[in-house]
Structure 1
Amino acid sequence: MSPEVMQALAPAASIFAVVGVVGWVVTTWLRVKHGYPLESSWGKAIYPKTSSEELERIKLLSQENAQLRAELGSIKDRLGNVERIVTDSGYSLTHQIEALRELPRN
């Protein structure tokens, strides 16, 4: 293309770009105003609306998660106590004494 043609098309191209950007902004504003979820370039909602059912489900799952974490903490404490008892030297001594009691007498 010659420089004269490029100079003639430059204002039209810049106007086209500005109109495209303004159109995108207006479209997005109208979607937000009327409650439509915003979409990514792949058509997936960026911020989908959440219904009361979904909020209730999230609340129940959060409560269940907290209960399971508390139960896991108590199980860890109990396991620590069992490990301490098993590795304690008194426990092995008791086992040896009980094993000697179970031996048949001559």
Structure 2
Amino acid sequence: MQLFSALAPVIATVGVAAMLGWVATTWMRIRNGYPLDGQWGQALYPKRDDETIERVKLLTQENGQLRAELGSMKDRLQNVERIVTDSGHLLSQEIEQLRDRAN
């Protein structure tokens, strides 16, 4: 009885660590697109019906459109940043020239 009382926290800690490891592994497999394993080790793949395939095509097209829009927004932002930073530098040069003329 004393042996069980002494080992109970260790057993509980190992059990919780094993469950957390399993959850983390499953989450990483889902996140990275790997198939999940069934109860006997067989790979579980999502169902592939016509509706799912069509949905994937639509999402792929939308993803491409959003990526193109994001690329154009990045280009526009770079232009705005260039204009803002160049204008600030030119403005400080003009102020210094005016100070030099005043002196």
Shorter-chain TM-score bucket reads 0.3 to 0.5
Larger Rg over CA atoms: 1
Greater fraction helix:
2
What TM-score does the superposition give when structure 2 sets the normalisation length? 0.45
